[in-house]
Amino acid sequence: MSEYEEEEGWPCYFSESVAELLADPQVSPALFSAIAALSVEINETRGGVSGHTASSQWPQQRRVPLGKDGVLGVAEYVVVADAEEPHCVITRVQVY
């Protein structure tokens, strides 16, 4: 395990479509905040967000509800643990 892995969480990046969503001025503050909070939790837990579900065929792909009981939607993210610098990517947000 490298020094980087021992001391810090893993970076959390946004896919292009998620970055575009966050840049949209019409996105509700609640949704924006939920995605921002998720990125922090992903970083701090190295992708082990509580309440996530994973694909049985690809366990690195995970889904997590946004907002209380998922009222805002669902976010999908990928854990890239085997990269030289492990990281996660929020790949998609499905808004309800």
CB-CB neighbours of 81 under 10 Å: 13
Name the DSSP class of 13: E
pLDDT at position 64 over 70? yes
**Looking at the 3D structure of the chain, how many domains does it have?**
1
pLDDT of residue 1: 47
Question: Which one is predicted more confidently, 6 or 83?
Answer: 83
pLDDT of residue 6: 57
Read off the CATH number of the domain in which 33 is found.
3.30.2310
pLDDT of residue 48: 94
Task: Give the integer Cα–Cα distance in Å for 30 and 88.
Answer: 22
pLDDT per position as a tens digit, 1-15:
444 445 689 999 999
Task: Give the integer Cα–Cα distance in Å for 43 and 13.
Answer: 9
**What residue numbers bound the domain in which 39 lies?**
3-95
pLDDT of residue 8: 84
Segment 28-57 mean pLDDT? 95
Bridging pattern class, strands 87-95 and 12-14: parallel
